[in-house]
Amino acid sequence: MERLGSENQKNPSVYNYEAPWQIYGLAWSARSDKRFRLAVGSFIEEPSNRVQILTLNEENPSLGFRRDPSLQFEHTYPPTKLMFHPDPSSVSPDLLATSGDFLRLWEVGGEGGVELKAVLNNSKSSEFSAPLTSFDWNDAEPRRIGSCSIDTTCTVWDVEREAVETQLIAHDKEVYDIAWGEAGVFGSVSADGSVRIFDLRDKEHSTIIYESPFPDTPLLRLAWNKRDPRHTFPSPFPSFLLSTFSFT
């Protein structure tokens, strides 16, 4: 771990961590008792990939982040996204979710070590599952995770039951990102260039709030304004463009 800045700096706040492979996914822990914990996922062009969980020594931050061998594990294919359980309380399950070929839940042990808790797969074929491009953990209802896939669907999982709550055909082309706005409302973006809003109280319908005016321009990422759920921020490709949408 290399610290950036002056050698005499007493309270460094910027660190540079050099992983042994290309980094694709990052996730900060939300737990109040593990504030400076970071999950890092690899991008290796082969089935065997890695996830590391780094921790910061809060009593002596100058030591930087620490890589604990017991807090790293193998992952099948590069994880397309990583997220810790969103509940900040220390009594919530200490879980990390990853997406790739499947949605996986990992339990971070109190005494060290990471164990695979569940592999969530809604494919009717045991031999093939359409890759998951992204997912989002519902911070208003942490039992729910929404995932999206190249097969045009969005799936809502009940992670407490480790089962599908509902699956929706969301778009005309690959779905690249999903984001929760409220407990039962999420948005998604797709290769079809649209932003769509879904309300779980009416699973038969969705609202298209935006369609790209540029043909064949996919939308890659979506973020909600957590202070005002009426606003979303989709990111198209090329990603130097950013738009803000307001709806009621």
Burial (Cβ within 10 Å: 0-12, 13-18, ≥19) of residue 74: exposed
- pLDDT at position 233: 57
**pLDDT per residue as tens digits for the range 7-29:** 434 445 777 788 999 999 999 99
Amino acid at 162: E
Backbone angles phi, psi at 62, to 5 degrees: -65, -20
- pLDDT at position 161: 96
End-to-end CA distance of the chain: 47
**Which residues lie below 8 Å from residue 188, measured CB to CB, with a gap of 6+?**
148, 154, 170, 171, 175, 177, 178, 179, 195, 196, 198, 222
Tokens of 190: 């797709």
Q: Is the pLDDT of residue 238 over 50?
A: no
**pLDDT per residue as tens digits for the range 119-158:** 999 876 666 789 999 999 999 999 999 999 999 999 999 9
Q: How far apart are CA 167 and CA 42, in angstroms?
A: 29
Q: How far apart are CA 23 and CA 247, in angstroms?
A: 35
CB 137 within 8 A of CB 85: yes
The predicted model gives 183-196 an average pLDDT of 93
**Which residues lie below 8 Å from residue 103, measured CB to CB, with a gap of 6+?**
97, 119, 120, 121, 132, 135, 145, 147, 157
The predicted model gives 228-241 an average pLDDT of 55
More confident of the two residues 179 and 112: 179
Q: Which domains does the chain have, with CATH numbers?
A: 1-120 (no CATH), 132-248 (2.130.10.10)
